Homo-oligomer: A and B are copies of this chain.
């Protein structure tokens, strides 16, 4: 039986990679991308020439259609602090309002998959973080629109599963980077690469000892396609997906600085409530997706991403880092 699939945020960084994977499916009849191009980019999909793909420019929480979809992937949301801190209300609408709206578009027996985040753990007090960890999120703070709208959307979907038997798949993604990140995205790897290729000065916020687990997008999307549609899994989530090799931000900056002659590092005031550490406990992921591993280390992943950023610069794309956020 052929499937109709909707993906919100399909022009975004991770969303557009998922679109490529979805279009490899022979059972896919049509694929609708709903994207408002707030943080997504048309050029992330411009390489695709497939009659099954249709793109609708629309806020996901306002999308109207009489069609019902067999599979829905809810990927619409900014994921970078400068973006969601500038427009927190819009962030909550995209996540929670988007999920509420998409649930009405799901065909009977359909599946809805959702990209949640390691930010549901806040600034974690244990490391690595297993899925059972309840987190340490300040629901009054300047990062809360993202963290809490992801948490609330998880709750919405798990409760739809419990009370209505809806088939859901919820992943918690840990710091993904790679080609198709916006140059003005504002997160560490893309920021450093944009800066290295333009101003030559990398801005590290705080002392740089805050650590992250840097997942190269190809590895992450391998896991997503297996969990969202390829593997016959009977587990609705939450599922941590990421690279569990934990590296400090300053070490990423130093690595990039040594790749490009003349680049220097500036130490800037810390970002409010920047988590001090972040590392996935992948025990469950390895059970649910046997054989999957994040295979690409940061050295190789950054080299590939740098090549992509260089090509962007050569093609004249805007590669400036974002402006400051009012706090």
A residues whose Cβ falls under 8 Å from a Cβ of B: 86-89, 92-93, 96-97, 100, 103, 120, 122, 134-142, 144-145, 147-149, 151-152, 154-156, 158-160, 162-163, 170, 237-238, 326-327
Contact = CB atoms under 8 A, between A and B. Distances in A.
Contacts of A103: 89
A243 B119 CA distance: 33
A147 B159 CA distance: 12
A105 to B, nearest CB: 15
A291 to B, nearest CB: 26
B120 A156 contact: no
A156 B120 CA distance: 16
A134 B137 CA distance: 6
A92 B88 contact: no
B139 A159 contact: no
Given A88-B159, A93-B100, A134-B122, A148 B152 contact: yes
Nearest to A162: B142
A140 B158 CA distance: 6
A144 to B, nearest CB: 4
Nearest to A151: B139
A232 B154 CA distance: 38
Contacts of A122: 134
A92 B155 contact: yes
Given A92-B96, A137-B134, A142 B120 contact: no
A237 B151 CA distance: 21
Copy count, this protein chain: 2
Most chain B beta carbons < 10 A, residue from A141, A142, A158, A159: A159
Give the 5 A-B residue pairs with the shortest CB-CB distance, closest first: A88-B159, A144-B155, A152-B152, A148-B155, A139-B151
B238 A140 contact: yes
Most chain B beta carbons < 10 A, residue from A149, A158, A327: A158
Contact of A156 (B145, B155, B160): B145
Contacts of A140: 154-155, 158, 170, 237-238
Given A134-B137, A139-B120, A89 B97 contact: no
Given A88-B162, A140-B170, A145-B159, 13 more contacts: A89-B156, A89-B160, A89-B163, A92-B96, A92-B159, A96-B97, A96-B152, A97-B97, A134-B139, A140-B237, A144-B158, A148-B155, A149-B155
Contacts of A170: 140
Contacts of A326: 163
Contacts of A92: 96, 100, 152, 155-156, 159
Contact of A149 (B138, B152, B160): B152
26 contacts: A87-B163, A88-B155, A88-B156, A89-B156, A92-B96, A92-B100, A96-B96, A96-B97, A96-B152, A122-B134, A134-B136, A135-B137, A137-B151, A139-B152, A139-B154, A139-B155, A140-B170, A140-B238, A142-B162, A144-B154, A144-B155, A145-B155, A148-B148, A148-B155, A151-B152, A152-B152
A116 to B, nearest CB: 9
Most chain B beta carbons < 10 A, residue from A100, A134, A154: A134
